[in-house]
Amino acid sequence: MDNKILTSLSYGLYAIGVKGPERPSACIVNTVFQITVSPPVIAVSLNHDNYTNACIRNTGRFSVSVLSENTPAKVIGDLGFKSGLDTDKLKNISYEISSDDLPVIKENCCCWFNCKLVDKIETATHTLFLAEVYSGSDEVKDTPMTYKYYHEVVKGSAPPKAPTYQPENDKLSSVNANYVCKVCGYVYDNPEIPFERLPDSWCCPICKVNKSEFILK
Ligand code: FE
């Protein structure tokens, strides 16, 4: 079997907010799905090494912000490609603290909800957290970003700790790709401006590294 067939599964893009010992933090996940209606229980998968994983274990609570298609790549880069252990990932992001000191994303967020841990399942690399939704926003604004949209329109990729990470060619749409970011996998394929003509000050819109970190594919 080719593991790439699993890339046909559908996902979204979400920010998981947590209360850390020193400051609030958040990370990006693509696996949030509803398990039961009454009570409303959802599941989320997080790598064992993920700082957010440790925070949920400590506090038993987390928030979910459903990101919209208008979410800037910079927000995904700040939350998805850095560690909250040594970085204030929310430093340049508009957010507010909801109940239980949980951060929720304010800009380009379709809706948010807070969750209380009810159970967890361990796998070799990831923890599946089961949690009951107990509060949240009243409506859904804008269009939620799907994982397919993230790959094909935002040109983003999955970091190595994501459950859907593909070691080789994680792209769903890299047929015409030219230059690829070695750090996050972002594909530069703007036909109007050749990569070589981008200014030296240009940096990856996802993870912020400069042009020298891109390789020709
Ligand atoms: Fe990058």
Please compute Rg for the chain using Cα positions. 17
pLDDT tens-place string over residues 110-138 = 999 999 999 999 999 999 999 999 999 99
State which H helix or E strand residue 62 sits in: strand 61-67
Distance 180 CA to ligand 1 centre (A): 8
Distance 165 CA to ligand 1 centre (A): 15
pLDDT tens-place string over residues 133-187 = 999 999 999 999 999 898 888 877 777 788 887 765 444 444 455 788 888 878 8
Where does residue 40 rank: exposed (0-12), middle (13-18), buried (19+ CB within 10 A)?
Answer: middle
Q: Taking the complete model, does pTM exceed 0.75, yes or no? A: yes
State which H helix or E strand residue 53 sits in: helix 51-59
Distance 213 CA to ligand 1 centre (A): 8
Distance 209 CA to ligand 1 centre (A): 6
Report residue 53 as tokens. 């994983």
Distance 104 CA to ligand 1 centre (A): 24
Give the three-state DSSP class for 81.
Answer: coil
